A and B are shown apart, each in its own frame.
Chain A
Amino acid sequence: MTARPPIAMLAELTHRCPLSCPYCSNPVELARKESELSTAEWAGVFRQAAELGVLQLHLSGGEPASRRDLVELVEAAREAGLYTNLITSGIGLTERRLMALDAAGLDHIQLSLQGTDAETADRIGGYRSGFERKMAVAAWIGKIGFPLTLNFVMHRQNMHQLPRALEMAEEMGARRIEVATVQFHGWAMLNRGALMPSLEQAREAGRIVREARERLKGRLVIDYVPADYHAKYPKPCMGGWGSTGLNVTPDGIVLPCHAAQTIPSLSFETVREKTLGEIWENSSAFNAFRGTDWMAEPCRSCDRKEADFGGCRCQAMALAGDATATDPVCIKSPLHGKIHAMAQDWAAEEGAELTWRTGPERVLEGQS
């Protein structure tokens, strides 16, 4: 199978983070600081990415601001010719550091929002006064003039705050807001009883988004990831597995998707052993679900297979125990009814406790 060049790369610069969101997309086994790629190693990866055809680079984590060399990394990314986006909680960014990032050529900032008030946000993020710090960061971002996307991660405990999140995006002068219902992988899976929205909540959120898109046309772009457990069809897997994007972990493992390590049959290679291009084209993990040949029924003969690529491989693994199965969220999956019923049960769990993310080591304020 020949691979088209990728468009986007997500660089998880570190798994360290001062926050401990219970839906963190990092794996439950976090990479330690000692194993992280160095500044020079990342710079090399960025050059290789640009040569391979990557246009957009997302600097993510953990919290990327926990890397002391963040400004140098942005410089290296821009030198490589990449459009550079920083995905951050804001913690660890000062006005001075933001000015240095501006001088380094950072193109865009995506600021996460755990809740729309300090009480909710700090409880979910597990970090006291985080909300206050974030608001200060948002003001500096506005002052410097960075284009901003607000990223509201939504679940049962904060879904009612969606209208306020939209208002905040406008107040901050954001051009875009991403309203993303929590995806149930890794840490979020441990918390599904506390985070799963109800069907009514999911419908209400959809209604609010539709209405806001109309009202805010031309002012605020709204990207919306609905709750797929309550849907008829699964989310498309980012333009198809191994087709548009790749992910590099803090220690240099190259993944077709951030949750790919939950699929035990796949083995992965690192940028310390091979070039990004070799891995993209030849690695068995990237080729495992490329195209549609790997599909079984009902996907194989389904007319939506080029539209959603059979849904999420990691979700198929987690829910059907088989990464090649149809995403069990799909109405055509034999597991669909069971999954819907399970989602209702999780959504109805009362007083379910949150399990906050822990490790690899907590980063204290001022350390970064």
Chain B
Amino acid sequence: MSLAAASVPRMPRGVRLQEDRVRGGWVLLAPERAIALDAVGLAIISRIDGARDFGAIVADLSETYGAPEAEIARDSGEFIAALAERRILEIMV
């Protein structure tokens, strides 16, 4: 599933991004869930601020990592949609 460029993902209350000082890396903490993020996941999540729309996030990622926008839109769209289905992210349209 791909997200519309104008939709705005956000982290709802009760979900936090936190550094894991013991194991290293970053984790997304949510009700009954602790999700260890890899570098790609962290790059996506750390760009979600509840204000930037998906199009802007994709453009930023594409510029930072020098990868084509279409590819980034597909991968990060799936990642965000899967988290939204588990109610760990919200998507405002």
User: Would A176 and B18 count as touching, CB distance under 8 A?
Assistant: no
The distance in angstroms between the C-alpha atoms of A164 and B29, with both chains bound, is 30
B18 to chain A minimum Cβ distance, whole angstroms, is 7
- The yes or no answer to A116 lying at the interface (CB within 8 A) is no
Chain B residues with a Cβ closer than 8 Å to the other chain, count: 19
User: Would B23 and A5 count as touching, CB distance under 8 A?
Assistant: yes
Given the known inter-chain contacts A218-B87, A221-B86, please indicate yes or no for A147 contacting B12, CB distance below 8 A: yes
- The yes or no answer to B85 lying at the interface (CB within 8 A) is yes
CB contacts (< 8 Å) of A176 on chain B: these are: 31-32, 87
Q: Which of B70-93 contact A (CB under 8 A)?
A: 84-87
The distance in angstroms between the C-alpha atoms of A218 and B13, with both chains bound, is 16
A61 to chain B minimum Cβ distance, whole angstroms, is 18
Contact with B along A62-96 (1 / 0, CB 8 A): 00000000000000000001010100000000000
CB contacts (< 8 Å) of A85 on chain B: these are: 31-32
Q: Which of A22-67 contact B (CB under 8 A)?
A: 51-53, 55-56
User: Would B87 and A107 count as touching, CB distance under 8 A?
Assistant: no
The distance in angstroms between the C-alpha atoms of A221 and B82, with both chains bound, is 12
Given the known inter-chain contacts A5-B22, A223-B32, please indicate yes or no for A55 contacting B27, CB distance below 8 A: yes
What's the count of A-B pairs with C-beta under 8 Å?
58
CB contacts (< 8 Å) of A83 on chain B: these are: 16, 18, 29, 34
Chain B interface, DSSP helix/strand/loop, else mixed: loop
Given the known inter-chain contacts A176-B87, A218-B87, please indicate yes or no for A55 contacting B12, CB distance below 8 A: no
The distance in angstroms between the C-alpha atoms of A221 and B20, with both chains bound, is 26
Contact of B14 among A52, A55, A108, A218 (CB under 8 A): A108
Given the known inter-chain contacts A218-B85, A218-B87, A221-B87, please indicate yes or no for A108 contacting B31, CB distance below 8 A: yes
- The yes or no answer to A142 lying at the interface (CB within 8 A) is no
CB contacts (< 8 Å) of A5 on chain B: these are: 22-23
Contact with B along A207-249 (1 / 0, CB 8 A): 0000000000111110100000000000000000000000000
Given the known inter-chain contacts A107-B16, A221-B87, please indicate yes or no for A53 contacting B23, CB distance below 8 A: yes
Instruction: Return the chain B residue nearest A53 by Cβ.
Output: B22
- The yes or no answer to A280 lying at the interface (CB within 8 A) is no
26 inter-chain pairs at a CB distance below 8 angstroms, sorted by A residue, are A5-B23, A7-B34, A8-B34, A55-B27, A55-B34, A56-B29, A56-B32, A83-B18, A83-B29, A85-B31, A108-B14, A110-B31, A146-B14, A147-B12, A147-B13, A147-B31, A149-B31, A175-B12, A175-B14, A175-B31, A176-B87, A217-B85, A218-B87, A219-B87, A220-B87, A223-B32
Smallest CB-CB A-B distances: 5 pairs:
A147-B14, A53-B22, A83-B29, A175-B87, A108-B31
What would 14 more interface pairs be, CB under 8 Å, given A55-B18, A55-B34? Answer: A7-B34, A8-B34, A53-B20, A55-B29, A56-B29, A83-B16, A83-B29, A107-B16, A107-B29, A145-B13, A149-B32, A176-B31, A176-B32, A218-B85
